Structure 1
Amino acid sequence: MFKLNLKIAWRNLWKNKGYTFINILGLSIGMASCILIFIFIRYQMSFDEGFKNEDRIYRLTTNWTTSDGFEESQGVPQPAPAALRNDFKNQIEKVAAIRQDGGIIKVKDAAGKDRIKSLEDVFYAEPEFFQIMNFEWLQGNPLQSLSQPNTVVLSKDMATKLFGNWNIALGKTINFQNREDFTVTGILQDIPEHTSFPLNIIVSYQTFRNYNGPNFKEWGSTSSNDECYFMLKKGVSIEEVASILPKFSEKYFHKDLAFKEQNGFQALSDIHYNENLGNFANKTMPKKELYGLAIIGAFLLLTACINFINLATAQAVSRSKEVGVRKVMGSLRKQLIVQFLTETLIISVFALLFACVLTEVALPGMKSLFHDDISFSIISNPSILVFMVGLVLVVSFLAGFYPAMVMSGFSPALAIKNKITANAGGLS
């Protein structure tokens, strides 16, 4: 039966090529808009996911309450990580400091001349950072690779850039700011784009300590470049830590200031969506904006469906005689409804195919606009395929149900006599 409906539907659509083309074009634009919005939202919602203990990972923050209001920063004073590690032994399993820096990286050739000279972001991190964040290691290990001064871990991509082949990078040296040579002790798998940690060059935190020692006792200075992450012990709630933090802040921050300074915390899952606090990737996307985009996408799709309904209803008059004849020949109303919905399904499938083409055309511009590595690959992102299948089914129902009900309800007597009008209808 479905095969027969499919043949009849295809014949009717082919007979009305102009009507079919206009509907496919209108629906495809609405579908393409929805697909682009879905891809973007899905990409943004995937930030910082996949860490082994993500529900126990938090970032220490700093806030100030003044007469002018409230301010907060993702940065912490440099002695804060060590103090947190010491004062929360019963609640916190791991604490790690990480600092963002930048400068000229040089790699010399056999003759001692600069072979590579590049401006890069550089991070200083304690070994515990890679025990909290389970990034994939290709060479080296998180316990030892950053335990000594003047050691550096590179991403696979950065190692390839500096040495031509990441497999030969281990044991080689790079120079930072004409100041020190660092020995490569580990290689990380490339960090994905959808993360708040764009780590390509990570130097041992002990290196930073060695030439910045005095500041590690100073609680009066806070830089957004200095961050601290911690992982709760199993069974410990963040509320327990929150209840102790005020006393922790009172213990270490200066009390003779005109404002109140204290520490707070932020869940790893909130970092990408909180526009009040930054991150190393300089990318935040509030969830309210994502919800707004989703509403816009739904509105565009609904508009396309309404346009389809208007065209289908207008064409219903020209097909009234066909409906009348089929009813006289014994077709039931539900059979006619299935027939008209099948036609809409075919149009929706072709609209989806055209929408995929439009999406591919628009995607480069979208990547350039948002500076994100957004992908339309259904192989690496099967959720896109699921969404598109759902999109076809939803559009087929929304756009096809009302016209199917109208046309299947025509009175056979009036339909055969061509006495159906767009306004009068003639339902039976």
Structure 2
Amino acid sequence: MLRNYITTSVRNLFRNKAYAFINIGGLSLGLACAILIILYVKDEVSYDRFHRQAGQIYRVDREITRENGNKVKGGYSGYLQGPRFKASISEIAAFVRVQETQVDIKRGSNIQTQKVSRVDTNFFSVFNFPLLSGTPGGLKEPRSVVITEDMAKAQFGTTDAVGKTMLLNVDGFVPYVVTAVAANCPQNSSIKFQVLLPLNMAPEEENKNENWFSFFLNTFVVLYPHADVKAVDAKMQQVFETDARQTIISITQKYNLKNLGLSYFLQSLTDIHLSKEAGANEGLSDGSEPIYSYALSGIAFFILLIACINFVNLTLARSLKRAKEIGIRKVIGGQRNQLVLQFLGESFMLCLASFVLAIVIAQALLPVFNRLSNKALSFSYLLDTKLFLGYIALFLVTGLLAGFYPALVLSNYQPVKILYGRFMPAGKNWLQKSLVVFQFVLASFFIVATFTLFFQLNYLSSQQLGYDDSNLVMVSNLNMSTREIELFERELLKNPVIQGVAPKNSGTSGTTVKVNGGTKINIAYETVNSSYLPLLKIPIVEGRNFLPDFPADSSHSVLVNETFVKEAGWKTPIGQTIHIYEPAGDFIVVGVVKDHHYKALTEKIEPQLFRMSSADGFLGMFYIKIAAHDNAKSLAYIEAAFKKVFPLAPYSYHFKDQVNAESYDAEKKWKEMLQFGALLIIFISCIGLFGLSVLSMEKRAKEIGIRKVLGASVRGVATILSGDFLKLIFIALLISTPLSWLAANRWLENYPYRITMSWWMFALAGFIVLFIAMLTVSFHAIKAGIANPVRSLRSQ
């Protein structure tokens, strides 16, 4: 019996190659998408779980409650939290601190800046990063270094690097001995390193209570099994308030605070990667959000569901052609359960073929998917036992979803009506039509979502920033004296291809200032000189710029932006006094700078303050305006001038407009993902519409024949047949339009600067859906219209 089922199923598939190809193709695309998304989600939830003590490792996080009631959580701590908490709380078994910093490495005449992690010597006893050679205790020596295999190959050409030396710029270039070589960090690790150095804390820093409020590294603690995390949180807060009592009093008095609003709590290591508030973006790597997993899982679910819907529609569409087979089987004694098993068997055979093809498609698309998702996934993940069982479950569920309903319907046909030629499928196919409506609701929804992302991204990338970022080169050097800054500027301006130079602080700092005798304002803090604003063409709307020949500007004057003036409530800002806490002092406003987007347009313009650089230098970055006609020549000259003035500093450069464009990489990736999802959903939906059109033409073959005998034209027949499907598409558009409008506006609320949804976006999405649907349906409609009516009437 089983052999008969298999033989019949195979014959049916080969007899109807086109339908089998469409069924397998649609299912395989849905399954390939599901496989890739499962790989992504599995990687997301597996972060940091490879450590043996992962369930006992926690990071010491902090929460700051501002005076306005807003709470800000972060993962940074300082020198003291680890040792002080370990000494006073019995539930803590060990602690380890991880500080990300940069060090220059010299190899021959080449100098490059390398990210390094300074860690406590017990790092490898807390975290399970395998060593290829050397010992876990190798970091106990002050001038020891542990490197990964990739770094070993880059520095020495081999992984056999233990005992060799590297020149690191730590208070001058000094030799460090490689004491161990570690395997490259796993893809799913929040801690990623290439170079590890021992974290050496000076004795005076250990006893300095002010370090309770110095946040620059991550502190991890290991709790004993069965420790109560909430109880440890309470004990940490008690230790902090007791140990830092005098410092807390001093700080609250200095900054005129009602209370400090600082508390500590523990965050599980395995929760860091997907945390929204205190994530892996503070010295750790690959911070993400669960919304990505939810959204991609939703896309995969809908694509797979649509693929199953298509299978149902196509199977039912072919039911008329198999009606006689079903009737004969029933007449000769075939039971309904046997027919159900046969059709389910065919379904599972198609699913098996689809799975094999899906794996091939997923493997081919994996590099593209890795680029979109910023991952390094591989099919070795499939070797995971739980994941393998998950795929088996997916196969079984897909086979049942795709085959169970058609099997019940087909096995219920009445043999007498079939064999006497009186059989026609009952009902008006409400289920199939409803499923097609559902498919095109999703299709139009995804098109609108893609349009929204496209136009919002275009708006963000084309909006005027309020300053000129074209042909602007950024060159960094963290340690520069005033003499070196001036020397580099003069060297650059010797060449006419260099149109201007402006030093500034590296990055953007934040601080709090006091105005009007007591009002506090959180600001972005910039240190520049008099050439900065003219170079970037940022207008001064009131007052004046800094004056290079006026020494008091560097010690007493500041510029503020328009948002600062609004928040301070000033009508006449020039001459107002601002108290800055660090460095402490009162400063006079001499000019108001026009608001400009110094951050990406995903963030609102905040109050901004400019100070003039002091005589000490140490700004950290140069903005260099170059001629537009010859970038290569300009860049070569900048590099030569840099190496001449800073021979021991590593050189690198970035174009400001490219850095600005990279601010929207997340939006670009989402746009590409939605485009890919929309194309798949539309393609698979059209397959379903194709199946429904076949069913409709076969059911209405006699009607079409009569219409043609009575003189109906091919165009008229095609219009009548297509009209039914137009109704379905219009219903889908009526449902999807308000849903997509609500979703798009809700999503746009996350952006302070955003587009306004227009009616034509929905009209264009509707036109695309209608056009594609009509192309799909018109083939069978025209084919039915030109068919010979005598044949259909004779057979009916």
TM-score (norm. length: structure 1): 0.90
Aligned to 1:260: 261
> Residue type matched to 1:248 in 2?
V
Aligned to 1:110: none
Do the aligned partners of residues 300 and 200 (structure 1) sit closer, same or farther apart at CA in structure 2, a change above 3 Å counting? Answer: same
| Inter-partner Cα distance in structure 1 for 2:98 and 2:207 | 15
User: Is 1:80 matched with 2:74?
Assistant: no
Specify which of 118, 122, 128 is matched with residue 128 of structure 1.
Answer: 122
Match of 1:335, SS state, is helix
Retained in 1: the 8 A contact 2:167–2:173?
yes
| Inter-partner Cα distance in structure 1 for 2:411 and 2:212 | 77
- Paired residues in the alignment total 413
Aligned to 1:46: 46
Superposition CA RMSD, Å: 2.3
> Residue type matched to 1:222 in 2?
S
| Inter-partner Cα distance in structure 2 for 1:158 and 1:84 | 35
Aligned to 2:56: 56
1:249-298 deviations in whole A, cap 9, x for unaligned?
21326234224122221111111110212324432233354244333322
Q: State the shift of 1:383 in Å.
A: 4.4
Aligned to 1:191: 185
| Inter-partner Cα distance in structure 1 for 2:173 and 2:279 | 29
User: Is 1:151 matched with 2:144?
Assistant: yes
Aligned to 2:343: 340
Retained in 1: the 8 A contact 2:192–2:285?
no
| The 10-residue stretch of structure 1 (173-182 or 303-312) with the greater mean CA deviation from structure 2 | 173-182
Aligned to 1:170: 162
Do the aligned partners of residues 240 and 211 (structure 1) sit closer, same or farther apart at CA in structure 2, a change above 3 Å counting? Answer: closer
Superposition pairs for residues 223-242 of structure 1, below 5 Å? 223=215, 225-242=216-233
Mark the runs of 5 or more structure 1 residues left unpaired by the alignment: 108-112
Match of 2:267, SS state, is strand
| Inter-partner Cα distance in structure 2 for 1:211 and 1:246 | 24
User: Is 1:137 matched with 2:137?
Assistant: no
> Residue type matched to 1:369 in 2?
L
| Inter-partner Cα distance in structure 1 for 2:417 and 2:149 | 74
Do the aligned partners of residues 234 and 281 (structure 1) sit closer, same or farther apart at CA in structure 2, a change above 3 Å counting? Answer: closer
> Residue type matched to 1:87 in 2?
S
Specify which of 194, 201, 205 is matched with residue 195 of structure 2.
Answer: 201
| The 10-residue stretch of structure 1 (377-386 or 334-343) with the greater mean CA deviation from structure 2 | 377-386
1:216-240 deviations in whole A, cap 9, x for unaligned?
65336433x4010111123432222
| Inter-partner Cα distance in structure 1 for 2:381 and 2:189 | 21
Aligned to 1:317: 320
Q: State the shift of 1:322 in Å.
A: 1.0
User: Is 1:27 matched with 2:27?
Assistant: yes
Q: State the shift of 1:424 in Å.
A: 4.8
> Residue type matched to 2:422 in 1?
K
Match of 1:423, SS state, is coil
1:172-204 deviations in whole A, cap 9, x for unaligned?
111223543211111222211110010221001
Do the aligned partners of residues 323 and 62 (structure 1) sit closer, same or farther apart at CA in structure 2, a change above 3 Å counting? Answer: same
Q: State the shift of 1:133 in Å.
A: 1.2
Q: State the shift of 1:398 in Å.
A: 0.6
Greater relative contact order: 1 or 2 (C-alpha under 8 angstroms, separation 6 or more)?
A: 1
> Residue type matched to 1:367 in 2?
N
1:34-78 deviations in whole A, cap 9, x for unaligned?
111111001111110121122211111122111231112111122
User: Is 1:8 matched with 2:11?
Assistant: no
> Residue type matched to 1:360 in 2?
Q
| Inter-partner Cα distance in structure 2 for 1:377 and 1:244 | 44
Aligned to 2:363: 360
| Inter-partner Cα distance in structure 1 for 2:198 and 2:317 | 71
Match of 1:377, SS state, is helix
| Inter-partner Cα distance in structure 2 for 1:378 and 1:226 | 32
> Residue type matched to 2:221 in 1?
F
Superposition pairs for residues 82-97 of structure 1, below 5 Å? 82-88=83-89, 90-97=90-97
Aligned to 1:406: 409
Match of 1:406, SS state, is helix
| Inter-partner Cα distance in structure 2 for 1:234 and 1:344 | 50
Retained in 2: the 8 A contact 1:91–1:233?
yes
Q: State the shift of 1:117 in Å.
A: 4.2
> Residue type matched to 1:294 in 2?
S
1:357-413 deviations in whole A, cap 9, x for unaligned?
221222111111222111123664454443333222211111111111111111010
Retained in 2: the 8 A contact 1:321–1:417?
no
TM-score (norm. length: structure 2): 0.50
> Residue type matched to 2:233 in 1?
A
| Inter-partner Cα distance in structure 2 for 1:264 and 1:30 | 43
